[in-house]
Chain A
Amino acid sequence: MPVSPVGSSATTPEPAPEPAPARTLSERLSEVVGRIGRLLGARGPYGEDGVARPADSPKREGAKLEVVGGRRGLPASPASDAGERFRQLVDGIRDYAIFMLDREGHILSWNTGAERIYGYRPEEIIGRHFSSLYTVDDLEAGKPERVLQKAAEVGRVEDEGWRVRKDGTRYWAHVGTSPLRGPGGRISGFAKVTHDITEKRLVEGQVREAQRALRELIDSMGTFCAKVALDGRLLLVNRTAEQASGLPREELMRTNFLEGQWWTFDPDVAHRVRQAFERACAGETVSYDEEIFAFGRVLTISFSLVPVQDDSGEVRYVVAEGRDVTARREAEEALRDRTAELEAANRDLEAFSYSVSHDLRAPLRAVNGYAKILIDDHGPGLSDEARGHLERIRASSENLGTLIEGLLDFSRLGRQKLERATVSPVEVVREALAELAAEQEGRKVEIRIGDLPSCHADRGLLKRVFVNLLSNALKYTRARKAALIEVGFRPVGGERDRAAYFVRDNGVGFDARYSDRLFDVFERLHPAEEYEGTGVGLAIVQRIIHRHDGRVWAESVPDRGATFYFNFGGSSTDA
């Protein structure tokens, strides 16, 4: 039987009842030696009656001499061939220090193993008290006496501790002490079997350290983590899981994974988890979001069950892990609620603008209509001034009507569905210009259209962008003898996302300090008397561009023309 505590411990990943073959062997040896020792002791020469001499015996010297007479102190009894064979056997054992003590603890025999382990030759140690093998601390603590006392009381004592070699070095010993009894059951001495388990202890220490480190690791994880046997027994849980369960550790470890309150608070949850666990036991890794009752409330966890297989592919156990994603889920829900609120607000706004469109225009129509009726039907009776006032009333009501129209247009854009497709802007520009033909009539206007890469946009809305920009360009070049309008594409610095279409004119331009306000609704940088307009056109342009995730901006020097740029975001332009 290989005595390999190192190997067996190292491959055991967690604390478990140790099989510890070395100890078993040591125990057995200790028992056997004890038994044989009794046999020998009963017939041994160091006490005719089988009783070792008392410590204060004046004959002690003699006894010592007698013992030394044996080869290694073991009595060479001619009376027993079996005893002799055993003596030789014990003598030859190298891995165990096997020696006998008299009733007081004086060493009577010393085998090869003892010599090898302690460094004492038999003649150096036999006759000395066994306590000289102990450390000073243990001596002061009275351990040698206690171990003999206890062995005498209970029969056999297992014990571990430091022992001191001849050269003063220490080793960690596993020691079995068995009392030897003579006829009548009286204690005649003790047999001791000692094994050097320093290395084993060291390795055990390392294993313990490794286990502790692993334990620390899983305990420091914020996720719930458990190792689960295929029948649902919990084999290991980390601290987070333990705390989440709210149960004392012992009770937690007694609870079946599938039957804990963490699932059973909701039969549906328990049912789902049971099914998922069955799949995991069949070898499938299962992941999904699940509810769990933990820390006294219901949480949402990102849940996974990972089967761990042995070399043959057989599932040995399942690692269950859960990450608390309640906050994330709640954030998502909050976002959904917020979105719903915004949508509701948007709907309210739409309803509002709808009624504005209807209810504001009706009185306007009345104002306009009655002014017109007054002029037509009662004009002859009115002064020129009165008729002039009535005309102004009519004109104003029409302006207001146009404004309302523009606003409604603007608000409609917010909810209009985008229908994006690949669009050739050149065609769109030509269509826009055709719509604006009236504004070019009787003027000298040169329009240059450059290479315009196709883009992914809503064609109708793109056309409105160009109609608005070109209409502006035509409007603000009105004072030029020769208007020049350029439509082009500028791949700025090769950076796609900054590339942009542009509409440039040689018109009156605007003060660049106010360029940010250009795109606000009702913002106008020119007096209405010079350049008519509602201030909605560029706001509509901006809204369309923003709905395409693009940017729009403008550059200008007063009286040197203006350039309006826009793009549809990095991926929307094919250039």
Chain B
Amino acid sequence: MPEREIQILIVEDNPDDAALALHALRKLDIAETVQLTRDGAEAVDFLFGTGVFSGRKPARPRLVLLDLKVPKISGLEVLRLVRSHVKFQLLPIVVLTSSRDDRDIEECYRLGANSYVVKPVDFVAFTEMMRAITHYWLEINQANPAAAERLDRRAA
């Protein structure tokens, strides 16, 4: 089976939340392009092609949905690590979390998150939110592929 072209990386340890997110994305018909990682370390490995992801083609998702409270490496730390690498400085990262904590919000933006979204309890609202996010970042938003390629070359 050929490797899927991954468009969305979801970093989410809660299986229910993950399942609901996938369920919502399935309705949007983009679940096939989603990579799910269960903790921060796995997410970093996926992006950098290390650990269980070593030897794979370097990942280039178009969007990361990042939960903050994940095992091993926290969401904030993932943000820091990813943004510190020139290759991922322009990667859209949406923090998707239950925390409404002011300090979390501030810290995420400081570390370079593109957006901060609080997961609603209501599944209808949740589905609508997932639709809006993916629609915006994958369709409406104009990415900067030229800049990303330049960064790729420099990194290589």
What separation, in Å, do the CA atoms of A365 and B97 have in the docked complex? Answer: 12
Q: Counting CB contacts under 8 A, is B101 at the interface?
A: yes
Q: Across the interface, which residues of A come within 8 angstroms of B20, CB to CB?
A: 365-366, 369-370
Check B122 against A357 for contact (C-beta < 8 Å): no
Q: Counting CB contacts under 8 A, is A354 at the interface?
A: yes
Q: Across the interface, which residues of A come within 8 angstroms of B17, CB to CB?
A: 362, 365-366
Near B by CB (< 8 A), chain A positions 392-443 give 394, 397-398, 400-401, 405, 408, 412, 416
21 A-B residue pairings within 8 Å (CB atoms): A355-B69, A357-B100, A357-B101, A358-B69, A358-B97, A358-B98, A361-B98, A361-B119, A363-B16, A364-B121, A365-B16, A365-B126, A366-B16, A368-B123, A369-B16, A369-B20, A369-B23, A370-B16, A371-B123, A398-B122, A412-B102
What separation, in Å, do the CA atoms of A371 and B126 have in the docked complex? Answer: 13
Proximity bits, A378-400, B CB within 8 Å = 1, else 0: 00000000000000001001101
Q: Counting CB contacts under 8 A, is B7 at the interface?
A: no
- Among A357, A362, A370, A398, contact of B14 (Cβ-Cβ < 8 Å): A362
What separation, in Å, do the CA atoms of A368 and B69 have in the docked complex? Answer: 21
Residue of B nearest to A372 (CB): B123
- Among A358, A365, A371, contact of B99 (Cβ-Cβ < 8 Å): A358
Q: Across the interface, which residues of A come within 8 angstroms of B124, CB to CB?
A: 372
- Among A354, A373, A412, contact of B123 (Cβ-Cβ < 8 Å): A373
What separation, in Å, do the CA atoms of A405 and B69 have in the docked complex? Answer: 18
Proximity bits, B107-136, A CB within 8 Å = 1, else 0: 000000000000111111010000000000
Q: Across the interface, which residues of B come within 8 angstroms of A364, CB to CB?
A: 121
| Min CB–CB distance B31 → chain A (angstroms) | 14
Of B17, B20, B69, B123, the most chain A CB neighbours within 10 A belong to: B123
Check A368 against B121 for contact (C-beta < 8 Å): yes
- Among B16, B99, B126, contact of A357 (Cβ-Cβ < 8 Å): B99
Residue of B nearest to A353 (CB): B101
Q: Across the interface, which residues of B come within 8 angstroms of A372, CB to CB?
A: 123-124
Number of residues in A with C-beta < 8 Å to the partner?
26
Q: Across the interface, which residues of A come within 8 angstroms of B120, CB to CB?
A: 365, 401
Q: Across the interface, which residues of B come within 8 angstroms of A373, CB to CB?
A: 23, 123
Q: Across the interface, which residues of B come within 8 angstroms of A369, CB to CB?
A: 16, 20, 23, 123, 126
Q: Across the interface, which residues of A come within 8 angstroms of B119, CB to CB?
A: 361, 365
Which A residues form the contact surface with B (CB < 8 A)?
A: 354-355, 357-359, 361-366, 368-373, 394, 397-398, 400-401, 405, 408, 412, 416
- Among B23, B101, B121, contact of A361 (Cβ-Cβ < 8 Å): B121
Check B123 against A362 for contact (C-beta < 8 Å): no
| Min CB–CB distance B71 → chain A (angstroms) | 13
What separation, in Å, do the CA atoms of A354 and B101 have in the docked complex? Answer: 8
Check B69 against A365 for contact (C-beta < 8 Å): no
Residue of B nearest to A368 (CB): B123
Given A365-B17, A372-B123, 15 more A-B residue pairs with CB atoms under 8 Å apart are: A358-B98, A361-B98, A362-B98, A363-B16, A365-B16, A366-B17, A369-B123, A370-B20, A371-B123, A372-B124, A394-B122, A394-B123, A405-B100, A412-B102, A416-B102
| Min CB–CB distance A365 → chain B (angstroms) | 5
What separation, in Å, do the CA atoms of A397 and B126 have in the docked complex? Answer: 14
Q: Across the interface, which residues of B come within 8 angstroms of A412, CB to CB?
A: 101-102
Q: Across the interface, which residues of B come within 8 angstroms of A363, CB to CB?
A: 16
What separation, in Å, do the CA atoms of A355 and B104 have in the docked complex? Answer: 13
Residue of A nearest to B14 (CB): A362
What separation, in Å, do the CA atoms of A364 and B98 have in the docked complex? Answer: 11
What separation, in Å, do the CA atoms of A530 and B102 have in the docked complex? Answer: 34
What separation, in Å, do the CA atoms of A362 and B69 have in the docked complex? Answer: 11
What separation, in Å, do the CA atoms of A363 and B99 have in the docked complex? Answer: 14
| Min CB–CB distance A489 → chain B (angstroms) | 32
Q: Across the interface, which residues of A come within 8 angstroms of B123, CB to CB?
A: 365, 368-373, 394
Check A368 against B97 for contact (C-beta < 8 Å): no
What separation, in Å, do the CA atoms of A480 and B102 have in the docked complex? Answer: 39
What separation, in Å, do the CA atoms of A153 and B130 have in the docked complex? Answer: 125
Check A368 against B16 for contact (C-beta < 8 Å): no
Q: Across the interface, which residues of B come within 8 angstroms of A357, CB to CB?
A: 98-101
What separation, in Å, do the CA atoms of A186 and B14 have in the docked complex? Answer: 127
What separation, in Å, do the CA atoms of A369 and B97 have in the docked complex? Answer: 16
Check B121 against A401 for contact (C-beta < 8 Å): yes
What separation, in Å, do the CA atoms of A398 and B123 have in the docked complex? Answer: 10
What separation, in Å, do the CA atoms of A364 and B14 have in the docked complex? Answer: 12
| Min CB–CB distance A395 → chain B (angstroms) | 10
Of A358, A370, A371, A394, the most chain B CB neighbours within 10 A belong to: A358
- Among B23, B102, B122, contact of A368 (Cβ-Cβ < 8 Å): B122
| Min CB–CB distance B75 → chain A (angstroms) | 11
| Min CB–CB distance B28 → chain A (angstroms) | 14
Q: Across the interface, which residues of A come within 8 angstroms of B16, CB to CB?
A: 362-363, 365-366, 369-370
Q: Across the interface, which residues of B come within 8 angstroms of A358, CB to CB?
A: 69, 97-99
| Min CB–CB distance B13 → chain A (angstroms) | 10
What separation, in Å, do the CA atoms of A241 and B34 have in the docked complex? Answer: 82
Q: Across the interface, which residues of B come within 8 angstroms of A361, CB to CB?
A: 98, 119, 121
Q: Across the interface, which residues of B come within 8 angstroms of A416, CB to CB?
A: 102
Residue of A nearest to B119 (CB): A365
Residue of B nearest to A365 (CB): B121
| Min CB–CB distance A367 → chain B (angstroms) | 9
| Min CB–CB distance A19 → chain B (angstroms) | 80
Residue of A nearest to B16 (CB): A366
What separation, in Å, do the CA atoms of A23 and B123 have in the docked complex? Answer: 113
What separation, in Å, do the CA atoms of A401 and B17 have in the docked complex? Answer: 15
| Min CB–CB distance B33 → chain A (angstroms) | 21
Residue of A nearest to B12 (CB): A362
Residue of B nearest to A354 (CB): B101
Residue of B nearest to A417 (CB): B102
| Min CB–CB distance A351 → chain B (angstroms) | 11
Of A361, A371, A408, the most chain B CB neighbours within 10 A belong to: A361
What separation, in Å, do the CA atoms of A206 and B1 have in the docked complex? Answer: 118
Check B100 against A408 for contact (C-beta < 8 Å): yes
Proximity bits, B13-39, A CB within 8 Å = 1, else 0: 010110010010000000000000000
What separation, in Å, do the CA atoms of A522 and B5 have in the docked complex? Answer: 50
